[in-house]
Structure 1
């Protein structure tokens, strides 16, 4: 919980009473590898903060291929914020790549913080903007060759290379696992 409080305090100031309220509003949740935090076709019902582990955002294209869009690791928010806020069904999955420990707020508790803590909306908006920026900025540029995309992946996600399955990295890069294995072999 301390990691979450430190994260929140990067975006604004809170007093002890407000911090205690945040602590009381959240619960710890464990996800096993491959479990979903939220699923396509369902309305997202929670906001999470990754304490330990890695979650990926993924979807299926019109050919039925699984596409990994982003990775969310420790000390970051995880939420499909657009659909969470609008109460709409999501079009993507948020799935644990590893066993994960999260601090989670239900929709009700998340909204109660806005009504109770003066300045929470400003803090929340800054956190959500960073979350959305991180999910969008690191996608590989498909016009680049696969080796360049992999090198950029390693630069953007240096701690993930040996923590998540190669199939997820290959999906993120838009290559087959065999191609990724060749690329990795040629880089060494």
Structure 2
């Protein structure tokens, strides 16, 4: 279960043998079934979740009960309601498994200990947060400046294997589109081929 985590860490920082021995003690492995919740809106997010296997989503519901996906996370990705985790406030997001999934969870106490006891992890999380800000900026630009077809094409080009694993309705929600719009775009793309 830790192989994916170590591969992900090694892409960003250089781990020593001691780091590799020490890191697992801070995490709690967890398996969840498809449609099982890790977090419900209104609860407190007490753990950061690393996906070792499967796909999870984080989302908010509007007043009509419509789901708005903020994140799709698969192998090698982290997911949580970070505001709730850091600020110890009620979660504004729910987190649910799209597929049967295997996760590594780290509590806030263990997160803080990890940063102190394995100093390279401080650098790792800094890099992770920087990349996350870049991704959010790109997503905001895409949301505001791209038309529906451009949004969909960008998603498919960036995450081709995930587009095969995630239902079209969830991709539509993530992109702020309707499933019908995605169907129309796919038909147009297929006609052009």
Judged with a 3 Å threshold, the aligned counterparts in structure 2 of structure 1 residues 142 and 128 are, in CA distance, closer, same or farther, namely closer
* Larger mean Cα displacement after TM superposition, 69-78 or 129-138: 129-138
Structure 2 CA distance, aligned partners of 1:129 and 1:138? 14
Contact in 1 for aligned 2:169/2:179 (Cα 8 Å): yes
Map of 1:139-158 to 2, 5 A cutoff? 140-142=142-144, 144-158=146-160
How many pairs align?
Answer: 188
Map of 1:93-132 to 2, 5 A cutoff? 93-132=94-133
Please list the CA deviations of residues 141-185 of structure 1 after superposition, one character each: whole Å capped at 9, or x if unmatched.
255332222112212221121211121112123232223222212
Structure 1 CA distance, aligned partners of 2:155 and 2:118? 38
User: Scaled by the length of structure 1, what TM-score is found?
Assistant: 0.85
Segments of 5+ residues of structure 1 without an aligned counterpart are none
Normalized per residue, the structure richer in helix is 2
Please list the CA deviations of residues 12-67 of structure 1 after superposition, one character each: whole Å capped at 9, or x if unmatched.
33432332121122222122222223222111111122112222221123444211
Structure 1 CA distance, aligned partners of 2:172 and 2:28? 33
Q: 1:52 maps to which residue?
A: 53
Contact in 1 for aligned 2:58/2:79 (Cα 8 Å): no
Q: 1:90 maps to which residue?
A: 91
Structure 2 CA distance, aligned partners of 1:162 and 1:179? 17
Q: 1:13 maps to which residue?
A: 14
Judged with a 3 Å threshold, the aligned counterparts in structure 2 of structure 1 residues 5 and 61 are, in CA distance, closer, same or farther, namely same
Structure 2 CA distance, aligned partners of 1:165 and 1:181? 12
Runs of 4+ in 1 over 6 A off after TM superposition: none
Judged with a 3 Å threshold, the aligned counterparts in structure 2 of structure 1 residues 176 and 14 are, in CA distance, closer, same or farther, namely closer
Structure 1 CA distance, aligned partners of 2:15 and 2:168? 41
User: Scaled by the length of structure 2, what TM-score is found?
Assistant: 0.83
Segments of 5+ residues of structure 2 without an aligned counterpart are none
